[in-house]
Amino acid sequence: QVQLQESGPGLVKPSETLSLTCTVSGGSISNFYWSWIRQPPGKGLEWIGWVYYSGGTSYNPSLKSRLTISVDTSRNQFSLKLSSVTAADTAVYYCARYETMTEKALDIWGQGTMVTVSS
């Protein structure tokens, strides 16, 4: 079955760029929408954005100026880059897939990766 795995640095310095990759295994990245979600420690979920396999994107307006989400179909991966990070960007970052029926719900999630922003 399809599985997602986030990877990237667990510690990022303030003002630098946070970069994460989600690797899709057990299935193709094609013909799906893919998303990033984050959860600060002890807080709720926040939608970050989505990318379609063909490269189209949609971003959370509160993050849009700092955010880039891209896809690499040859590697079956999609990525997140968040620039000028601060302590407020410290969170568990999840990648997820939108289901195929209406493409509006997230049916498969990665296990999440903790990213801490600190000097």
Partner 1 sequence: QSALTQPASVSGSPGQSITISCTGTSSDVGNYNYVSWYQQHPGKAPKLMIYDVNDRPSGVSHRFSGSKSGNTASLTISGLQAEDEADYYCYSFSTRVSYVFGTGTKVTVL
Cα distance between residue 66 and residue 10, in whole Å: 19
Cα distance between residue 66 and residue 76, in whole Å: 24
| Contact residue for partner 1 among 1, 31, 104, 118 (CB under 8 A) | 104
Looking from the CA of 59 toward its CB, the CA atoms found within 13 Å total 14
| Contact residue for partner 1 among 5, 19, 58, 68 (CB under 8 A) | 58
Cα distance between residue 68 and residue 19, in whole Å: 10
| Contact residue for partner 1 among 25, 72, 107, 116 (CB under 8 A) | 107
Q: Is 50 in the site for partner 1 (CB under 8 A)?
A: yes
Which residues here bind partner 1, judged by CB under 8 A? Answer: 35, 37, 44-47, 49-50, 58-62, 94, 99, 101-102, 104-107, 109-112
